[in-house]
């Protein structure tokens, strides 16, 4: 006999712990994706619906095994489900729904009432994916709007970057908050998701934004032009949505110079073959993966064609001509490396960290005016430090 949800205890998501059973939850759907998994017992395929739920107290992952063959569950739908079981996955609770679970739509008004003034204050540097139920004071560094198509419907999305004294974070907002770069604001009722391996703040119709005093926040000018940091600090913080680093170019990483790209996905190809689209008519492109060293660490600065041409002083056509004249000697790569080597750069852009270290996608690069002798002396100091 299946126990009715009303006969069981309804609990906020923040109170869930691994091992809980016979629990009823009431939550809003943050995301839901339908897929199939292979059963180990017989190799058959089992439909699964998985994603994230939130009730304002916490955000948890859920898995609904063998759900009804219904259409997609809309983001924002409020559901009451029980009995559910809770397990721990990577230190966080995860909710499982089975054939025993009754699921029904509920009202937005039934969600837990949260006193927003009592939510804890957080800093940008402390935010992690799935965080919810906090207040945040920050300065707007970037803000802009674009139109995206969701299931055939055009929706207006706002995105940009927020900063405080501890770091930077990207944001997306589905409501019109009318802020501009330089504004100091307090955000309440947002949640954090992971986007391209970095935390991202998400604001929706439940979020509140109000002006706040700028005490303790970076100045408007520093916020909008990137937060200065050493490469070591960038690595320690796991990257940043808008950082400013200064260092010396000490080399190039392959592939740099002339590269061949797939016309469909823009991935690099070898011998006219893309690993996704097979044999393709490759398109020539120009890029530089410059190694920037600031004495605390090194970062790879990824320059696209336009940025490479500006930094080098030559264009793609010149590089292709040089490669044709010297097909076995790689003169474009050597000339590019010689032109960039020893330059002192100030780079502003998006920084990420992975197993290969720090990578920066630059918004802008400025070159110091110091003379060549000073540049060479700086490079020698860097190399002496590394070889010590």
Q: What structural domains and CATH numbers belong to the chain?
A: 5-110 (2.40.50.140), 116-223 (2.40.50.140), 227-387 (2.40.50.140)
Confidence of residue 381 (pLDDT cuts 50, 70, 90): low
pLDDT surpasses 80 at 4: no
Q: What's the pLDDT at 5?
A: 44
Question: How far from 369 is each of 222, 343, 349, 365, 375, CA to CA, in Å?
Answer: 22, 9, 21, 13, 10
Q: What's the pLDDT at 271?
A: 82
Confidence of residue 7 (pLDDT cuts 50, 70, 90): low
User: Hey, which bits of 39-166 come out as E strands?
Assistant: 45-54, 59-65, 78-89, 92-97, 102-105, 121-122, 135-150, 153-164
Token pair in block for residue 207: 């979020």
Cβ(315)–Cβ(333) below 8 Å: no
Nearest residue to 19 via CA among 90, 103, 116, 85: 85
Helix/strand/coil percentages in the chain, nearest 5: 20, 45, 35
Phi, psi values for residue 360, rounded to 5°: -125, 130
Average pLDDT over residues 331-343: 90
Q: What's the pLDDT at 210?
A: 93
Is pTM beyond 0.75 here?
no
Average pLDDT over residues 212-232: 88
Confidence of residue 6 (pLDDT cuts 50, 70, 90): very low
Token pair in block for residue 190: 């947002």
Question: How far from 252 is each of 2, 292, 305, 323, CA to CA, in Å?
Answer: 64, 9, 15, 18
Q: What's the pLDDT at 1?
A: 33
Average pLDDT over residues 103-120: 83
Q: What's the pLDDT at 99?
A: 87
pLDDT surpasses 50 at 121: yes
Token pair in block for residue 56: 């304002």
What is the DSSP pairing of strand 357-367 with strand 298-303? parallel
pLDDT surpasses 60 at 317: yes
Confidence of residue 245 (pLDDT cuts 50, 70, 90): very high
Q: What's the pLDDT at 251?
A: 93
What is the C-alpha end-to-end distance of the chain, expressed in Å? Answer: 73
133-172 tens-digit pLDDT: 789 999 999 998 888 777 677 888 899 999 998 889 999 9
Angle ∠(275,362,280) on CA atoms, nearest 5: 20
Average pLDDT over residues 337-351: 93
Confidence of residue 385 (pLDDT cuts 50, 70, 90): low
Nearest residue to 365 via CA among 315, 290, 295: 290
More confident residue, 40 or 256: 256
pLDDT surpasses 70 at 382: no
Token pair in block for residue 2: 């299946």
pLDDT surpasses 60 at 250: yes
Mean pLDDT is lowest, of 217-226, 305-314, 364-373, 379-388, for 379-388
Confidence of residue 378 (pLDDT cuts 50, 70, 90): low
């Amino acid at each position: 006999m299946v126990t009715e949800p009303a006969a069981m205890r309804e609990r906020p998501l923040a109170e869930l712990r691994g091992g809980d059973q016979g629990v009823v939850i009431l939550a809003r759907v943050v995301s839901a994706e339908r897929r199939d998994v292979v059963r180990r017992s017989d190799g058959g395929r089992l439909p699964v619906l998985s994603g994230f739920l939130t009730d304002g107290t916490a955000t948890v992952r859920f898995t609904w095994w063998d759900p009804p063959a219904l259409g997609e569950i809309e983001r924002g739908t409020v559901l009451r489900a029980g009995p559910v079981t809770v397990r721990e996955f990577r230190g966080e609770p995860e909710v499982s729904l089975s054939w025993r679970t009754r699921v029904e739509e509920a009202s937005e008004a039934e969600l837990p009432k949260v006193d927003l003034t009592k939510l804890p204050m957080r800093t940008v540097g402390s935010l992690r994916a799935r965080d919810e139920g906090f207040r945040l004071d920050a300065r707007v560094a970037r803000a802009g709007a674009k139109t995206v198509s969701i299931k055939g419907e055009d929706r207006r999305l706002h995105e940009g970057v927020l900063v405080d004294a501890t770091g930077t974070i990207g944001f997306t907002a589905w409501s019109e908050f009318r802020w501009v770069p330089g504004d100091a604001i307090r955000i309440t009722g947002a949640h954090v998701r992971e986007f391209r391996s970095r935390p991202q703040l998400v604001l929706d119709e439940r979020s509140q934004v109000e002006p706040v005093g700028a005490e303790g926040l970076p100045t408007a000018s520093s916020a909008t032009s990137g937060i200065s940091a050493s490469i070591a600090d960038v690595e320690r913080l796991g990257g940043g949505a808008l950082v400013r680093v200064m260092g010396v170019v000490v080399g190039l990483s392959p592939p740099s110079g002339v590269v061949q790209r797939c016309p469909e996905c823009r991935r690099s190809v070898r011998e006219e073959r893309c690993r996704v689209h097979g044999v393709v008519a490759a398109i020539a492109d120009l890029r530089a993966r410059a190694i920037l060293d600031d004495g605390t660490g090194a970062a790879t600065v990824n320059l696209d064609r336009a940025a490479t041409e500006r930094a080098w002083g030559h264009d793609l056509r010149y590089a292709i001509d040089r490669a044709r004249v010297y097909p076995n000697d790689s003169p474009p790569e050597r000339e590019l490396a010689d032109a960039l080597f020893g330059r002192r750069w100030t780079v502003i852009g998006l920084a990420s960290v992975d197993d290969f270290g720090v990578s920066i996608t630059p918004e802008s690069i400025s070159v110091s005016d110091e003379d060549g002798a000073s540049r060479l002396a700086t490079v020698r100091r860097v190399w002496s430090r590394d070889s010590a």
